[in-house]
Structure 1
Amino acid sequence: MISFLKHYFKGEKNIGIFQSIMLILFFLFFSLILFFIFSKPKKYYEEISFLPLNDRKKQKDL
């Protein structure tokens, strides 16, 4: 299968298809990342933002 793809994309006339496929994959990946970021509640990010500070307090208590 990979040898077929190498042979198919070797020609100059087929390179536009490869670029289009890569653009679509990038857009889908970027959209998924944005979806996961904005689907989390704001409280989740507030708790995460205080984790480094909480670690320092725990180390001082030891």
Structure 2
Amino acid sequence: MLKFIKGHMESMEGIATYPMISLLIFFAFFVVLFWWVFTAKKDYIEKVSNLPLEDEN
């Protein structure tokens, strides 16, 4: 079964672009995430981090 899939995928034109696109999406997501973490306001981070400790009343 694996030989069939490998042989079938090797015959496709441009199949090598899909791993590159997924790598770029993965990299871009984490770059944006790190940018958000380092530029987030400290007041917001403190407020959100204390939410589990607040009483519901």
TM-score (norm. length: structure 2): 0.60
Alpha-carbon shift at residue 15 of structure 1 (Å): 2.5
* Percent of aligned pairs sharing the same letter: 35
Q: Which residues of structure 1 form unaligned runs of 5+?
A: 1-9
The alignment's C-alpha RMSD in Å is 2.1
Alpha-carbon shift at residue 11 of structure 1 (Å): 4.1
Q: In structure 2, what is the Cα distance between the partners aligned to 1:38 and 1:55?
A: 29
Name 2:23's counterpart in structure 1.
Answer: 23
Alignment of 1:1-62 (within 5 A): 11-12=9-10, 14-55=14-55, 58=57
Q: Which residues of structure 2 form unaligned runs of 5+?
A: 1-7
The DSSP-based 3-state class of the residue aligned with 2:15 is helix
Q: In structure 2, what is the Cα distance between the partners aligned to 1:11 and 1:54?
A: 54
Bigger helix fraction: 1
Deviations 1:15-56 (A, max 9, x none): 221111111111111111121222111221111111222225
TM-score (norm. length: structure 1): 0.57
